[in-house]
């Protein structure tokens, strides 16, 4: 059974940092592009970042470029999101999501974690 379990969310002050983790199981993690998708309270979905199977390609939504870094450790079946210089508008539930296709890329998301809440507030 495919499972994605996020952790690391919490309350942080504006300008602070946080590192999210996503533990994957039930599939060959190293074969899939992985993404972070967020959802502000009561709002819609926003793709944040993604990373290729071997970590050689990474992409970000404009609003987080230069502040967030996505990474992965295939030996540990884990995905990460390092978030620096956090702003109030980064407050959201952050989901880890798997690409639908192995090896290639579909850029659709067929498995999601339960999400972890990040609150940026003083």
Partner 1 sequence: EIVLTQSPATLSLSPGERATLSCRASQSVSSYLAWYQQKPGQAPRLLIYDASNRATGIPARFSGSGSGTDFTLTISSLEPEDFAVYYCQQRSNWPPGGTFGQGTKVEIK
DSSP count for the chain of H helices, then E strands: 0, 11
Query: Shortest CA distance to 14 belongs to which of 82, 83, 96, 95?
Result: 83
User: Is 40 a binder of partner 1 (CB under 8 A)?
Assistant: no
Query: Shortest CA distance to 116 belongs to which of 29, 24, 4, 9?
Result: 9
- What phi and psi values does residue 29 have, to the nearest 5 degrees? -55, -40
User: Is 59 a binder of partner 1 (CB under 8 A)?
Assistant: yes
User: Is 27 a binder of partner 1 (CB under 8 A)?
Assistant: no
User: Is 114 a binder of partner 1 (CB under 8 A)?
Assistant: yes
Cβ nearer to partner 1, comparing 14 with 57: 57
User: Is 46 a binder of partner 1 (CB under 8 A)?
Assistant: yes
Binding site for partner 1 (CB under 8 A): 35, 44-50, 57, 59-61, 95, 100, 105-110, 112-115
């Amino acid at each position: 059974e495919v499972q994605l379990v996020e952790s690391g969310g919490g309350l942080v002050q504006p300008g602070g940092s946080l590192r999210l983790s996503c533990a994957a199981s039930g599939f060959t993690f190293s074969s899939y592009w992985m993404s972070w998708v967020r959802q502000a309270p009561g709002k819609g979905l926003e793709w944040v970042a993604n990373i290729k199977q071997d970590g050689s390609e990474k992409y970000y939504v404009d609003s987080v470029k230069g502040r967030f870094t996505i990474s992965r450790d295939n030996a540990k079946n884990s995905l990460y999101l390092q978030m620096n210089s956090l702003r109030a508008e980064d407050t959201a539930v952050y989901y880890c999501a798997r690409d639908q296709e192995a090896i290639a890329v579909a850029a659709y998301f067929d498995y999601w974690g339960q999400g972890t809440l990040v609150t940026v507030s003083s």
